[in-house]
Amino acid sequence: MYTIEALQEIVNQSFANQNFIEEPKLLYEPIEYTLSQGGKRLRPVLLLAGCDLFGGDCNQAINAAVGIEIFHNFTLLHDDIMDKSTLRRGKETVYKRWNENIAILSGDTMFALAYRYFLKTPVANIHNILDVFTETAIDVCNGQQYDMNFETQPDIHMNEYLTMIRKKTAVLLAGALKIGSLYGKCSDEDREHLYNFGINIGMAFQLQDDLLDAFGDEKTFGKPIGTDIKDNKKTFLFLKAIEHGNDDERRILNDWFAQTTADNSEKIASVLSIYNRLEIKKHTEQEIEKYFSKGLEELEMINVESEKKEPLRNFVKQLLGRKH
């Protein structure tokens, strides 16, 4: 059994050993640039943790772990074009540093490379594994489209928002765990519990990201506070405020979120003061707590010794504790 730190080390070591540069260089340099930046490597670590939980061989699953991280980074490359984001992990995004065409094509290539990595390790149930990966990939694309739809959709219901983040974020964490489990041995029921654990943790993770955007500490969060507000992103916080606000507060929020201004300090302050008045932080924390607990419940229902679940418990606490 591995600790999370040991799994992180395996993943980091594995990426350090890869050479992503091939010909034509202009296609692979952005790939190397993206994949060498690190990041939290959540998905490959979860994949290996899912494997290890059910007695699988992490040496067998490592290529799938690399593959899922490449896939995740491919989606970021294309999302950054679509969102016109110029910075990611404190560095210029690929479309900004090179150009859009390069970012499109390097991304496409990364999607294929993800499959190449999955296919590096021959396993009897590769069909099954690639089924899960492929359906997860489609879900992630669907989620990104819902997210784009929201930019112009006038009324977004909370349920639609939760469906969107489930697809855009949670299914990939859950999919990573499920794929990992396929390198080990477990019942369909246990696999389902592990998947549901991933979904709930993924939801909590995304809601926490929403929360930190408004109430985080700029130093530890790594992004300026209020970016979602500036970009008119209708996150959980906004939708909750619309739900709880009076006519006046709703009108003010909707007005702010319908405009872009050169100086955002007044906008951010005004929105935050409504969030504070409506106790949006508390409401969001309650929702995160709900998903977090539900996730842990699912984990507890898995039929392996409690001790073996300790790495995943720790991981989740680490992940969701990053605001402290």
Which residue lies nearer to its own copies by CB, 144 or 208? 144
Contact region with its own copies (CB under 8 A), list: 39-47, 133-141, 220-228, 266-274: 133-141
Minimum distance of its own copies from residue 81's CB (angstroms): 6
Smallest separation (angstroms) from its own copies to the CB of 112:
4
Toward its own copies, which CB reaches closer, 37 or 149?
149
Q: How far is CA 30 from CA 14, 24, 27, 124, 305, in A?
A: 19, 11, 6, 34, 43
153 binds its own copies, rule: CB under 8 A: no
Contact between 111 and its own copies by CB under 8 A: the answer reads yes
SS3 call for 9: helix
Relative orientation angle of helices 310-320 and 188-215, to the nearest 10 degrees: 20
Locate 244 and state its tokens: 């709880």
Comparing CB distances to its own copies, the nearer of 102 and 301 is: 102
- Select from 204, 206, 159, 199 the least CA-distant residue to 298: 199
Q: Where are the alpha helices (DSSP H) in 91-170?
A: 94-97, 100-120, 126-152, 158-165
Of 262-301, which residues contact its own copies (CB under 8 A)? Answer: none
Among 3, 12, 63, 145, binds its own copies (CB under 8 A): 145
Q: Which residue from 12, 39, 130, 279 is in contact with its own copies, where contact means CB under 8 A?
A: 130
d(Cα 55, Cα 122) in Å, to the nearest integer? 18
Which region, judged by CB under 8 A, interacts with its own copies, from 41-49, 128-136, 288-296, 315-323?
Answer: 128-136
Structure tokens at 72: 């995740």
Nearest residue (CB) to its own copies, 152 versus 259? 152
Q: Residue 306 carries which DSSP code? A: G
Instruction: Check: CB of residue 50 under 8 Å from CB of residue 181.
Output: yes
3-state secondary structure of 52: helix
Stretch that binds its own copies, among 45-53, 135-143, 189-197, 204-212 (CB under 8 A): 135-143
**What does the per-residue mask of binding to its own copies show for 76-105, with x meaning CB under 8 A?**
--x--xx-----------------xxx-xx
DSSP 92: E
Q: In the numeric block, which tokens belong to residue 23? A: 């010909």
Using CB under 8 A, count the residues that bind its own copies.
Answer: 39
| 63 makes contact with its own copies (CB under 8 A) | no
Which residue, 153 or 187, has its beta carbon nearer to its own copies? 153
Asked if residue 150 binds its own copies (CB under 8 A), the reply is: no
DSSP structure string for 34-63: HHTT----HHHHHHHHHHHHTT--HHHHHH
Give the closest residue to 179 by CA, choosing from 64, 8, 70. 64
Nearest of 26, 304, 286 to residue 181 by alpha carbon: 304
Interface pick for its own copies out of 32, 85, 126, 285 (rule CB under 8 A): 126
Nearest-angstrom CA–CA distance, 277 and 182: 48
| 144 sits near its own copies (criterion: CB under 8 A) | yes
Applying CB under 8 A, the residues found at the interface with its own copies are 22-24, 26-27, 75, 78, 81-82, 100-102, 104-105, 107-109, 111-113, 115-116, 119, 122, 126-127, 130-131, 134-135, 137-138, 141-142, 144-146, 148-149
